[in-house]
Amino acid sequence: MTEAEDKIIGTVFAGCKIICKLGQGGMGTVYKAHQESLDKFVCVKLLSPDLAREQRNIDFFLREARSAAKLDHPNIVHIYNFGQENDAYFIVMSYVEGKSLQDVVAEKGPLPVKEATDIIIGVLDGLAHAHSKSIIHRDIKPSNILISPDGLPRIVDFGLARSINEEKQLTMAGEMIGTAYFMSPEQGLAGQVDSRADLYSAGATYFYILTGRYPFDGKSSIEVIHKHISDPVPNVMLIRPDVPLWSARVIDNLMRKKPTERYQSAAEVIADLQKFSSGEAAIGTPLERTFDMPDVTARMSSGVPPSHVASLERADPQVSDRSNRPAPPPPPGATPAQRPLYRAPGEPQQKPELQLTGLHNSIRIATHLALTLAGTGCFILAGASGKISGSIWSPIDSNPAAAGLLAFAGLALFGFALWKKPYKFTMLYTLFLLAAAAAAYAGGAYIPAPEGADTVSKAFLALKIGLENMFSGTNVIVYSLFLYLAASKAVFKDNRGLKGFAVAAYLGGLGLTYLYFKAGPEVSPDRIWLAAGGGLALLGLAAALTQKSFALFFNPQLIFLVANITMFAMFTNPQIEALTQFKIKANAETVRQINYKNRLAYQQVLLMAQSDVLYDEEGRPVVHKVPPPPEEVKPADTNSLQTQARLDYYKALTVRITGALAGSAGIIFIAFFLSLMANACFLEELLAVYRERDLL
């Protein structure tokens, strides 16, 4: 205890005698005191003398008292009195026996789900009362929540609170207010703040008391704030697998980047937490959904398989007249595997090796589809065979026999599917299968399964998460990729229907790219980029409708790829610019503080030189050699800060996309889509062989 604090012990403020120090906060020191007239213990908070030198700090301190004095709720500390006495500003508030939530987690570690949920419900109940009085706390964190011996949470420290209706803003424009580890993105961007910022901080607090970790950590406050702005919220189930899925969902909804996508009131969060924790949601709201597909239902009811021959005849009326026509001679360069398909004029027609009837075609296509999907499933099981979720190497380290056997089974199924192909080995088909295998393995490895879950349970959990997130916003970028690849495969086909599909898929994928990157902090897209994206979309539309073969320049695949990149740049550039401005302000403040300290040190050197007068042997005063003033530290170059901001943003965006795909089973979606693309290549080759044989 310092000498100044020691002098305060025993003094009286508004009838309260100071007993001992309880803690130190950002605005001042909190003491335990005895209210003599009421004979009860209270807390007295004194504004730091250093801060009391500026009127703005005094206004902050007294605003805490005025804000909290309006509130009367069991989950908020009561304010009894405030003012100035003994040359100090004070606040008298209720005394709570117990510890802060920060200290509780530090001593006990992550709290049980039930205890943590009850605490957050109490905090949200207090926030709901404060918000109903138009008071925003703006600094909700575990150290500002006191836990009484009976487990009742109470919110303290309304030093950053403000009234929504307050006309005079005590915070300067563009100033960042709050604590980095629990700060909402809009606070980090110094934007307009409302009650939903408190909900974000409550979600970060919920994450902390469940895991014992901050949602985002870093080497500096700036790095942490940047992660709040751009990084995806970590999946709490990967850190603590016993946390129920509904808790992870509530945290995700509380900590959405855009306030409009979060819960809109504390009452909504309380209702969900009470419903989920009591088990009502699991009983009354099943997660399974039934989809009715009339065409499939009719076919299953009738038991008649779809006729591939009929579809081919509708596409080419001359097909039915070709059964007795001799096939043309094989073209030059036909492979040995293809030569038996042809016969010379006058040569007796040989019975083909395979009877390519509609039923046989359907069976062959279904068999190939089953082989590729089963192979993809084997790779998912291989990835899920590890003991640690979220680790690519865990299956190899912890269960190499099972992982190797399942991977070998997947390769065998893919190899058998390859052997069934008409043209055997083709580069594009092989690339699709290899990419599907890699994505399936990664998706299985990143399944957020509880610790100790077996391989099959993990696979079913992956399927469940995938179905639940089928229409989730985190998978929008996956569907955009699907549509782009599918359109690129069909765009050069000489068929109006496929042309129309390609055009629709390109435009749909471009629209999904727009929606995905638009989701995040509110930004206004640059009109130049918007115009460029629209122009490229029109140009790509014209190329897709007119081009029938690959073109180097007027290529719809390349044009729409650039259009998607333009959509990306349209929303990311403003965010990079905002991050750059934030770095410039932070750097300028750091430089200002360094220069101020240097000037202060130089002034002290001058004072010492003037006060210490020395004399030589003859009694003449010695003139001190005064050192030159320190050079002013210059702010960092704007271009370098912009480059750093761009790199930080792209790194955070990469983590956001990969984290979202892992948490929502989007990687598994990609794996199955790639296997379907391989089936599209198979079907394309099959139709090409039929045309070459001319036996239809």
pLDDT tens digits for range 478-497: 778 778 888 887 787 777 88
Please calculate the CA angle 567-571-572 and round it to the nearest 5 degrees.
105
What per-residue confidence (pLDDT) applies to 269? Answer: 92
Q: What is the mean pLDDT of residues 452-456?
A: 72
What per-residue confidence (pLDDT) applies to 696? Answer: 39
How distant is the alpha carbon of residue 637 from its chain centre?
31
d(CA 449, CA 385): 11
What per-residue confidence (pLDDT) applies to 312? Answer: 36
| Residue 16 phi, psi dihedral angles, 5° rounding | -115, 120
Please name which of 53, 102, 96, 55 lies closest in space to residue 76, comparing C-alpha atoms. 96
Position 208 pLDDT exceeds 90: yes
> Residues 92-126: pLDDT tens digits?
888 888 888 998 999 889 999 999 999 999 999 99
Position 163 pLDDT exceeds 70: no
| Dihedral angle computed from the Cα positions of residues 249, 250, 255 and 256, in that order, rounded to the nearest 10 degrees | 60
pTM: 0.43
d(CA 227, CA 213): 15
User: Which parts of 547-637 fold into alpha helices (H)?
Assistant: 556-611
From 118, 125, 139, 231, active-site residue: 139
What per-residue confidence (pLDDT) applies to 270? Answer: 92
What per-residue confidence (pLDDT) applies to 359? Answer: 63
Cβ atoms 568, 516 nearer than 8 A: no
Query: Residue 280 corresponds to which tokens in the numbers above?
Result: 């009502």
d(CA 30, CA 687): 81
Residue with tokens 């487990």: 151
CB-count burial class (<10 Å; 0-12, 13-18, 19+) for 595: middle
What per-residue confidence (pLDDT) applies to 408? Answer: 92
Helices 358-384, 308-315: crossing angle, 10 deg rounding: 110
Residue with tokens 């599917």: 417
Amino acid at 48: S
Mark whether 139 is an active-site residue.
yes
Amino acid at 523: V
> Residues 550-599: pLDDT tens digits?
777 788 888 888 888 888 888 788 888 888 888 888 888 888 888 888 88
Indicate the pLDDT class of residue 450, thresholds 50, 70 and 90.
low
Query: Residue 255 corresponds to which tokens in the numbers above?
Result: 């900590």
Q: What is the mean pLDDT of residues 376-391?
A: 81
Cβ atoms within 10 Å of 428's Cβ, excluding its own: 12
> Residues 667-676: pLDDT tens digits?
777 888 888 8
Beta strands in 86-209 (DSSP E): 88-94, 99-100, 135-136, 145-147, 153-155, 162-163
Q: What is the mean pLDDT of residues 521-540?
A: 78
> Residues 621-671: pLDDT tens digits?
666 666 778 788 888 888 888 888 888 888 877 777 776 666 656 777 788
More confident residue, 254 or 1: 254
Q: What is the CA radius of gyration of the chain?
A: 35
Q: Strand, coil or helix: what is 598? A: helix
What per-residue confidence (pLDDT) applies to 347? Answer: 45
Position 187 pLDDT exceeds 70: yes
Report the percent of the chain where pLDDT is more than 70: 75
What per-residue confidence (pLDDT) applies to 211? Answer: 92
Query: Residue 477 corresponds to which tokens in the numbers above?
Result: 């970028």
Cβ atoms 30, 44 nearer than 8 A: yes
Please name which of 610, 614, 650 lies closest in space to residue 626, comparing C-alpha atoms. 610
Q: Which residues contact 375 (CB under 8 A, 6 or more apart)?
A: 409, 410, 411, 412, 413, 414, 417, 433, 436, 437, 675
> Residues 305-331: pLDDT tens digits?
444 434 333 434 443 344 444 444 444
Position 334 pLDDT exceeds 70: no
d(CA 127, CA 197): 11
Helices 400-419, 358-384: crossing angle, 10 deg rounding: 160
Residue ranges of domains in the chain, CATH in brackets: 3-94 (3.30.200.20), 99-163+176-284 (1.10.510.10), 358-573+662-691 (no CATH)
Position 202 pLDDT exceeds 70: yes
Written in H, E and C, the secondary structure of 279-330 is CHHHHHCCCCCCCCCHHHHHHHHHCCCCCHHHHHHHHCHHHHHCCCCCCCCC
> Residues 682-691: pLDDT tens digits?
887 877 776 6
Cβ atoms within 10 Å of 267's Cβ, excluding its own: 15
Please calculate the CA angle 194-200-201 and round it to the nearest 5 degrees.
100
Cβ atoms 31, 91 nearer than 8 A: no
